[in-house]
Copies of this chain bind each other. A is one copy, B any other.
Amino acid sequence: MDPNSAHMTPDEFRRRGRQVVDWIADYYERIERFPVLSRAKPGEIRAMLPPDPPETGEEFDTVLADLDRVILPGITHWQAPGFFAYFPANASGPSILGELLSAGLGVQGMLWSTSPACTELETHLMDWLVGMLGLPERFRSDRSGGGVIQDTASSAALCALHTAREGARAAGRDGPLVAYASTQAHSSIEKGIRIAGIGEESLRLVEVDDRLALRADALAEAVAEDRRAGRVPFFVCATVGTTSSHAIDPLAAIGPICRREDLWLHVDAAMAGTAALCPELRWILEGCEHADSFCFNPHKWMFTNFDCDCFWVADRKSLIDALSILPEYLRNKATESGAVIDYRDWHVPLGRRFRALKLWFVIRHYGVEGLRREVRENVRIAQELAGKIEEDPRFELVVPPPLNLVCFRLIGDDAANQRLLDTLNESGEMFLTATRLDDRLVLRMSIGGTNTRAVHVERAWERIVAEAAKIA
């Protein structure tokens, strides 16, 4: 190493790396001491940062000290056992270390040849997961399909929409395109429609039933009506585990409509897909054999740190045709041989990091049985909580939770529920978020954190009951 160079030597990396590993281990040991939801006010973190960058390099210890002083007060602790907001983003030791190795190797997997292991491990794991979740065999890379890791389900949905649109256009289907999803579908569908230039007016939000799942009969009607009006139905997004309430759209009823009407069926199982690891929960994917594309997020509930969305297509050729461009500077023998996968053609970005490594570490550390055990325990805890809510006359269980998301409200008006929510979040002990169902404010408790055990949920429920008593 050049003595004039500012680069960190391997030896310094060894020393500093240990400090950082210790910092993280210490963080997890003291994680319950922080308020789950950050109490920082807008601008408060920035105010602690100097207006200009340093001209000369600073000591690593200074930077690490600022992590405690400047950053931690502005952290909402997603890994804390009291984090019940949104959906989990449950990191784990093996995953964090897989991510570290991926950063350390520093390879870029845009082409097979730019690191064959980056591509082949990913393809292999995606085939493993087809079996692990009981997905249709045609999603496997040795059939017509294949899987790829994307950053998020939003990007996956955009790729599905774009591929479906290109397919419809190539088939000569002229006229204004129409896509369908339930009123409960994730905002990423609308965002994807917009970015793909299809036009927001082309998205029909189909009615749901009393479990908040898409009504297949309403879908069929909407499609028929659009056809009568000369429009071109082309895409359906079915959600397995909606964000608001975990509703499971009935794939077995939606699928045949899509086949009959020649519509691309995309299944967004971003949150709930992980449950399919357990045979007894696999009913959520019944009918999935009709899907043209499917995604779920190990970075939500499968102990893999963000980002890691797994996306499959039944016909990889259509995806590649829709996204492939081969400029001169990317030409290489392996690509031209046709014997390899170049994942740059499977998503929006060209470059990509080695995300399969962390997923590999997770699956091997836990084993399939270990993953199932954790998922089952989350579901068990959630169902137990739901039981308590149902028995308590002061509360209402808004929908029976299919898995690990519990939606409930205090009997009373929205203001009372908002007050309850605010009090709980301000307590620092937990962080819950709300949604609106049937035009009423509903509290959501999502149970899937790596560090969340039964005792944390029991304690949270006691606190909820106590705060509710004060409000009433």
Given contacts A96-B100, A100-B20, contact A187 B76 (CB under 8 A): no
Q: Are B6 and A107 in contact (CB under 8 A)?
A: no
CB proximity of A422 to chain B, nearest CB, Å: 9
Q: Are B74 and A365 in contact (CB under 8 A)?
A: no
Pick from A48-56, A210-218, A256-264 the stretch touching chain B.
A48-56
Interface centre among A107, A340, A366, A374 (most CB of B within 10 A): A107
CB proximity of A137 to chain B, nearest CB, Å: 14
Interface centre among A2, A43, A54, A373 (most CB of B within 10 A): A54
Which residues in B have their C-beta under 8 angstroms from that of A6? 365-367, 370-371, 373-374
**Residue in contact with A197 in the complex, picked from B86, B112, B196, CB distance below 8 Å:** B196
Range of interface residues on A (Cβ < 8 Å): 35 or more
Q: Are A187 and B350 in contact (CB under 8 A)?
A: yes
Q: Cα distance A363–B62 when bound, in Å?
A: 13
Q: Are B99 and A42 in contact (CB under 8 A)?
A: no
Q: A325-344, CB under 8 A of B: which get 1 and which 0?
A: 11111111010010110000
Chain B, Cβ-Cβ closest to A433:
B329
Which residues in B have their C-beta under 8 angstroms from that of A5? 374, 453
Which residues in B have their C-beta under 8 angstroms from that of A158? 195, 348
Chain B, Cβ-Cβ closest to A198:
B197
**Residue in contact with A351 in the complex, picked from B29, B131, B152, B349, CB distance below 8 Å:** B152
**Any chain B CB within 8 A of the CB of A95?**
yes
Q: Cα distance A9–B115 when bound, in Å?
A: 32
**Any chain B CB within 8 A of the CB of A37?**
yes
Q: Are A2 and B453 in contact (CB under 8 A)?
A: yes
Q: Cα distance A195–B14 when bound, in Å?
A: 43
Given contacts A24-B101, A115-B75, A117-B70, contact A363 B190 (CB under 8 A): no
Q: Cα distance A125–B94 when bound, in Å?
A: 30
Given contacts A195-B158, A305-B106, A348-B155, contact A14 B25 (CB under 8 A): yes
Q: Are B17 and A116 in contact (CB under 8 A)?
A: no
Which residues in B have their C-beta under 8 angstroms from that of A371? 6
Q: Cα distance A75–B106 when bound, in Å?
A: 10
Given contacts A54-B367, A132-B53, contact A17 B10 (CB under 8 A): no
Chain B, Cβ-Cβ closest to A163:
B195
**Any chain B CB within 8 A of the CB of A266?**
no
Which residues in B have their C-beta under 8 angstroms from that of A436? 328
Q: Are A27 and B124 in contact (CB under 8 A)?
A: no
Q: Are B101 and A152 in contact (CB under 8 A)?
A: no
6 contacts between A and B (CB under 8 A): A5-B374, A10-B29, A75-B107, A78-B108, A86-B329, A307-B351
Q: List 5 other contacts, CB 8 Å, given A96-B100, A195-B195.
A: A13-B28, A20-B104, A38-B116, A43-B339, A52-B128
